[in-house]
Each structure stands twice: as C-alpha cells, then as structure tokens.
Structure 1
Amino acid sequence: MQVILTFDYELFFGTDTGSVQKCMIEPTDRLLAIAKTHQVPLVFFADVGFLIKLHEYKDRYPDLETDFKQITTQLNRMLELDCEVQLHIHPHWEKSYYDGEKWVVITDGCYKLSDFPDSEAEIIVRKYHRFLTGLTGKKPTTYRAGGWCIQPFKQIETVFQELGIEKDSTVFPGGKFESAHYQFDFTDVPPFGNPYRFQTDVTKGEANGFFLEVPISSWEFSPLFYWRLYALGRLNPTAHKMIGDGSFLAQPGRKKSVLLHKTWNHVSSDGYYASQLMKQARYYEHKKVRTFVVIGHPKGMTNYSLDRLESFVSKTKSVYEFINFGSCN
C-alpha cells in the first residue's frame, strides 16, 4: 500500500491567526526532521494567499520580512528533502490585511472560491499558481481546497486543466458540512476507495476525465473518540496542547454533533487523531486500498501527535511505500 503524508501549511483563520513561528516554522521543522531521519517524502499544501500578503507587506514591516524569509527558507528545505510543495487556496486573503500589529482576517462572503464570481475565481487561481511557481521554481500539479470547499468544481475546471493542475486531494469520503463559511458534501463518494478520474464533479468518477482525485482517507469516528480527545487536552496539556498559538474559524454545531453521533472525518496526524493511524492503515490495507492519504496541519501538531506520527513511520516504512503525488497515478 502507498502512503501519502500531507500537511496544510498555514496560519489559523479565527479571531487570532497565531504566529508564523509557532503555527508553521517550529512544528514543520519537527516534521522535516522525521522526513530526514526516516527518508520519507512529505507533501505540504502551501497557503499561497497568505504568502502573497506577506510579500506585499514585508517591505513595510520588518517582522513580516522575517516571517517571509523564514518561510521561503523552509520551503527550500522541504524541496531539498524531496518533499512536495503543492497548491492550497484560501481566497479570504484577498480581503484580509495587516493593520501594523496583527493580521485582520476577513472570511465573511470570501472564504471559498465559490463565494467569488467565476471570473474573479479564475484570476485568483492564476495569480496563486504563478506566485507559488515563482517561489519554488516548480509548477504545482496537485491542489487541495481551503476548508475542503472545492464544490462546485466546474467553476475552476477549465483554468485547472489549462494550468496542468491534474490532481486533487480535497475529498474525504462521507464528509459533509455546511455553515456560513463552509460548504462541502462528499457523501456520494464511497469510503475505502482508490484514486479515480473525474472531470466536472469531484464526487463523480469519469474513466476518461482529465483530473485524478486522490481522496484523503476517511474514518467513521465514534463519540467516545471525541470525548477522549477533548478530555486529554485538559488533563495533559503538555502532551496534547497544539503547538500552534492561534484559534480556529468557528464551525457552529460541529462539536455538539461529534460528541453525540458517529461522524465521518478525515484520517489525520493532528493531535489525538494520530493515535488511530496504525489501526486505520491496517484496515485500509485489509480492504485492499491502493493509496492511504493522511492529512495534517503543522499548526495542529502536538508533542503527542509528532511522537505517534514518527512511530507510525518508523514501524511501517519497510512495509508501506511512502510516496508523494508525483508518484501517484
């Protein structure tokens, strides 16, 4: 079985974005140490809108210039270790700004590409693709939508095909959520499946489609899992407190829902989720799934999750094939 370890490289989008140092640099350094020690590639989906904003403001604010230099140095380090840097779009950065002391994040009416007219969405995609290409020297070929909000894909189908963005890894089968900011529905995608071709709708396979969906692996979590997750954060903060120092964008009603009902969610290396990786991988292997995709966020890493992730890699690297998207077909 192939394993792809992916990470969304970004700040927080709630009332406090957190710092570049704690949300991105520090936890990613620890992830790259795992990659180097065990000779496994990682994939980082870079929040390009934020990088563009940093570049825009860095000449006015020395702290932001430092942040930008640290990030570009780290991106180069990723590439040196044969990790991939791919395209991640959070379009709310189009409306967000720096007020001289902190980032002011505007998400209402602009959190997902579908909040924008088609013509503006195309401009955003082109701009972000061009900027990331210039920053890394490599054209991104794989995409992950910010907040998993990739629908309707038809809005960006043509420009993605033109730019050669041929793979996507946004869908997690069974997932569904809708709020003032979020909107995605992957309930039509059967769990424990393999990558599939598609064209206009990311949830509907088409044998001759231009695009390849490489789904994030998903899992049906019980309420007990989430009770443990929330309890451990309070009982043992040293191990289970996030390294990132910001706050999440609100997902109204979600916490209550997961504490009361079984929930399909992505397979993740964040926090307590990492405790399930070995069990989940074995089950996917048992189901004869070809590609096991894990999502994580440097900002969401904890001391516990980093230890569990390294243990997972150490114990399985001789059994599974750790790859990036360039080796996935």
Structure 2
Amino acid sequence: MSTGAEPGRGRSEPHPGGPASPPGGPESSPGVIVDERRRLINVAYRLLGSSAEAEDAVQEAYTRWFALSRQQQEAVASPGAWLTTVAGRICLDVLGSARARRERYVGPWIPEPLPDRGEWIGGRAGGGAEPADPADQIVLDESVDMAFLVVLESMTPAERVAFILHDVFRYPFAEIAAIVGRTPAACRQLASSGRRRIRAARTPAPPAAGQVGLVRRFKEAWESKDIEALVALLDPDATMTADGGGLVGTVLRPVEGGKSIAQYLLHIAGKAPGLVLLERTVNGRPGLVAEHTGVPVTVAAFDITDGRISRIWAVRNPEKLRAWT
C-alpha cells in the first residue's frame, strides 16, 4: 500500500504516492473503483458490527476518493489499497466513538443481525426477498457469526482492526500499520491478542444439521408453551440478552439460567398473541425471526454448547431490523 505521508489514526487519508498508474489506466477506472465496494462493505461490517455504519464508512471513503483530482487519482499505485486504508481509518475512529455512544445506549448493545439470501428450510422460499443493500453484499461465514461478533466487541478498536484485517482478510501487517498508526510488530501483537480473546471465548460449532434440529425443537417448544421441553433444550447456565435500544420494550439486563429464560419466553408468548416464529438464517447460522402482523419484531441468534442452547441474542431494536423487512 502506497502512503507517501506518515500513516496514523485521525490523520488525513494517505497521500497518493507510489508508482503512478498510466492516465486512465485500468486500476483507477471508475468500474474498478466501484467494484471495490463489496469488499470494503464486508471489511467494514466485521469491524463495526453494523451494516448501516459500514455503509456510511465506505461511502465516506468513496467521497474522499472522488474529491481527489484526476491527477491525484492516477498517482495512486493501488486504488483498492488506498480505499482500504481510508475506510479502515474511518472505522477505527467510529469504533473509538462507539464506546462512548454505547455507554448511553439503553440496555445491552448487540451487533446488527443479517439475513441470508435463501432459507435453510423450505416454506417461505424467498419470502424474505433479497436483503437490503448493503446487507446483500456481505458474505455470511463464521466471521459474521453472532458469537464471533460479540467477542469482537470486547476488543480495543486497534485490536479489532488488526485482528480482522489480518486473520480474516489476510492483509499484511505492513498495510495494517498504515491504518492503525502502529508499527507492523505492534500490529502483530494486537492481532495475537485478539486471537487469544476469540479462542478463550468461543467453543466449536456443532454440525449444521444439529443446529437446525435444536433450534427447530426450541421453536416448537416455545410455540406449544412447553416449559419442560424449553428447559431441557437450554443449558442450565444459559444467558439471554435482548437489544431494544430504548425504542421497544424488552428486558434491560441479561436473563440468566435455563429455567428463568424458559419462564421469560412463555411470559412473552402470553403477552404477544399472534406472534409467528420463522426459521431463518441469522448471520450464517440457524436462528429465529418473530413476526407480528407480518412485520419482523425480533431476530434471535443462538450459540450451542454440548448439544444445548447456551446463549440467545434477541435483537428487537427496529433500526437494526431494516434488512429483514
């Protein structure tokens, strides 16, 4: 990555230095520049946990690119690397300010859940239609699994950027250093620290078929108000966290213990007649979407340990459900 100026957080975008591309060359053509957007959205979502914030960060990077003169653009050896550097620095700044914003957030903050283009069961094939932009550009894999994203929230902004760019997207530490304003050696340490956090917090995912069956039995038990079946499917030390963002009613603290979660779920079912549960893919894993009068009101993601549900993340904040409507 060519960065003629000294890189660092909060500084201006990289100077268009390095070997110049030929005027009008293919690397800086508008089509190639626009094609970078999908990759940048994927990077930014994993860094920020929000497709809306990812879109804003990438849009800002493009705004800065198109603000360059034609001569400055042609002087950039790799426009894709330039855009990555700028978008990465923007995300780093957003992560820094997000900590202060989330201190004022009402209740727990959960990363924005994403739908898949298809369904993992029959039924509403295409019923969710194509996810909204930019969610439709995000590749769903284990690096957007909700449990993974939640662990990322425990990292410092610099750790998260270094870990995601290196371990997920395979960027060299020399390029990451230009984004976080640290030496390559320091970035290596940041990524290593992030890697340890992931290893300490995550358990191996069960086979996909097992996840589907367990979530389906959970759905059926909830629908039939079978508390004994719910308790049997939940780990005794399970935790359920809900995110309403202060915009809709929900529990403001995590519900702990399988029995307490089962009782709470039955309480909710009794208060919301007409609630319809749908089996959907949530961040690449089997999950549930609760609809009321045809409108998604809750998206639930699950973590499974030793054949039981150990974590439930229920997103109710309507601002985080736009890709599901």
**Structure 1 and Structure 2 fold alike (TM over 0.5):** no
TM range (shorter): under 0.3
Higher relative contact order (CA 8 A, sep 6+): 1
TM-score, normalised to structure 2, is: 0.27
